[in-house]
Structure 1
Amino acid sequence: MLNTKQIVVIVIVVVMIGALLAQPIKGLVDKQEQNTTAAADESSSMYTLKSVSELAKQGINTAIAEEISALEGQVEKAEGEEKVSLLQSLASKWEDLAKPIPQGFIYKEMAEVTPKLDYWVKSGDAFREGYTNQQDTALASALNKLAIESYQKAVDIDANNLAAKTGLGASLVTGSNNPMAGIALLREVVQADPKNLDANKTLGLFSMQSGQFDRAIDRFKTVIEIKADAESYFYLATAYEKIGQKSEAIAAYTKSKELAADPTLSQYIDRQIEELSK
């Protein structure tokens, strides 16, 4: 089920998509790059595990925050594998709290102590989750840059790792001046694994942004075959709507509403269906 934040983001995407379609992906990312790359380079060094941890502790249970602080104190005194073990415990604490940003820095530190593919991928995944839907643009740009760096480290270890290639591809499209390289990586992933959920979903979104709705429909149909969810049906419905296939759009919107079971999204979908039914 989508949470309220995800619903709001989806609605905003649909409202904005008309403007997005006037530009190819390359143009979109280049424009973003001009505004955010310099900020990301300057701000990424501003963010550390300590700074993001203190920010993440705001609003959580005081006792849990104190447990995390105590564990952080142990990490500072530890070395080698003992430090990695303590960092893993710390990452698990943040995972339980659904706070990905500190996890990104933790797995990055673990990978720097013990350079393992898994640590770099987990670091990239956490940074990517952290910058997705992030409203602080400076933080989002910094996290995107860190995600690219972590995934690139993973790919350097194993160039055939599909999780690393998918994450790197998606991060390059959203936060680099070479988005086509990212798309090429994602296409390599689906060529090797046609049912790769993450790569298909990401390519589907990029197809929508570039106005390639037929391709987006194919991608989201594949995604739904793998794992049907409200968000994927919502994007499928939007793609159908954009090419004038009203009955298919209504059917997909209806399925999205059923799976989401959320009043906010339901109200929006009801309005879309009403318009399509005229």
Structure 2
Amino acid sequence: MKTNIRSKQVIIIVAMLLLVGFLFSREIKALVIPKQETAQMPAAQQQNTATISIEEASTTAKNLVSNATAKDITVLESKYKTAKAEEKIANAKVLAQKWEDFEQSVPSALYLEVVANSEPSLNNWLNTGNRFLKAFDNTQDSLVQPVMLQKANAAFTKALAIDSISNDAKTGLGISIVNGMGAPMQGIAMLMDVVKKDPKNLKANMNLGMFAIKSGQFDKAIIRFNDIISNIKATPDAYFYLATAYENLGKKQEAIDAYLNSKKLAANPTLTKFIDSKVTELKK
């Protein structure tokens, strides 16, 4: 019975986190999900063979930006398609940044992949992997999402092949594995290895804390986020996830305090309204 109650609580938290997703640089909807959902994850997400072209991604993204922006990008794309080999990569970089400026991570990531394939450096593959992870988090398309995760996994694998001790590559690869590109514990072990070597690695620690919430290990999540806040960096999202863990354990006052700290640091009107509502609810 207790497990069922916790599962329902996590589902509630998922909806809550999605409402304030603008706070976080990493994917929330993909990380904070009930244990049961993880167990039932389709095998296709772990070994996806589908793909998406730049043209397809661009067409979809153009429907999400203004007509003027879409026209500007069409002009840039025409230059990219007709450019000579030595100019093509420069044009791809411009398009990747242009799409990112308008928060369209899918086409942006695909153009970064073009750059990385032509100029396969550690930084290029790391940037590509991180952009694919962002696209994985941001897209609502259930067909595109696993493609983004698969491509992120491939990009970080290539980064790690260039530098086998890169903590950034290990962190990104670990995140992609836990989200469906392999056995979750393999990804957790990779993140733990990063933290062992670099105890103040914010990204690895944050994701370990979020994965603790995902698996219902709220006590471990609380320890992790309190450590992040005290010893690494007190961020709005660290406080928000800490509040989430406290709330799931029924520790209302601790949850309220953490939510209020998140609100104070973020200073965002939308988050303020949401947290004020949460605090009122917890005080009942």
Answer yes or no: is the 8 Å Cα contact 1:121–1:151 preserved in 2.
Answer: yes
Aligned to 2:134: 129
Counterpart-to-counterpart distance in 1, 2:112 and 2:149: 15
Counterpart-to-counterpart distance in 2, 1:271 and 1:130: 30
Aligned to 2:9: none
**Matched ranges for 1:144-163 at <5 A:** 144-163=149-168
* Structure 1 counterpart of 2:113, from 108, 112, 123: 108
Say yes or no: does 1:31 pair with 2:40. Answer: yes
How many residues align? The count is 262
Counterpart-to-counterpart distance in 1, 2:223 and 2:261: 17
Aligned to 1:7: 19
**Matched ranges for 1:203-222 at <5 A:** 203-222=208-227
Q: Deviations over 1:126-160 (max 9, x none)?
A: 11001114321111111111111111111111111
Say yes or no: does 1:74 pair with 2:76. Answer: no
Answer yes or no: is the 8 Å Cα contact 1:9–1:133 preserved in 2.
Answer: no
Letter in 2 for 1:234: F
Taking every aligned residue pair, what percent have the same amino acid on both sides?
39
Answer yes or no: is the 8 Å Cα contact 1:33–1:176 preserved in 2.
Answer: no
Question: Could you tell me how far 1:5 is from its partner in structure 2?
Answer: 8.7
Letter in 1 for 2:43: Q
Aligned to 2:98: 93
Answer yes or no: is the 8 Å Cα contact 1:80–1:113 preserved in 2.
Answer: no
Counterpart-to-counterpart distance in 2, 1:243 and 1:177: 30
Q: TM-score with structure 1 length normalisation? A: 0.83
Structure 1, 158-167 or 66-75: larger mean CA deviation: 66-75
Aligned to 2:265: 259
Q: Deviations over 1:38-91 (max 9, x none)?
A: 6x32x32xx111111121112323333222222222222334442221211121
Gaps of 5+ in 1: none
Counterpart-to-counterpart distance in 1, 2:179 and 2:275: 28
Gaps of 5+ in 2: 1-15, 23-27
Counterpart-to-counterpart distance in 2, 1:68 and 1:94: 8
- Secondary structure, aligned partner of 2:154: helix
Structure 1, 196-205 or 29-38: larger mean CA deviation: 29-38
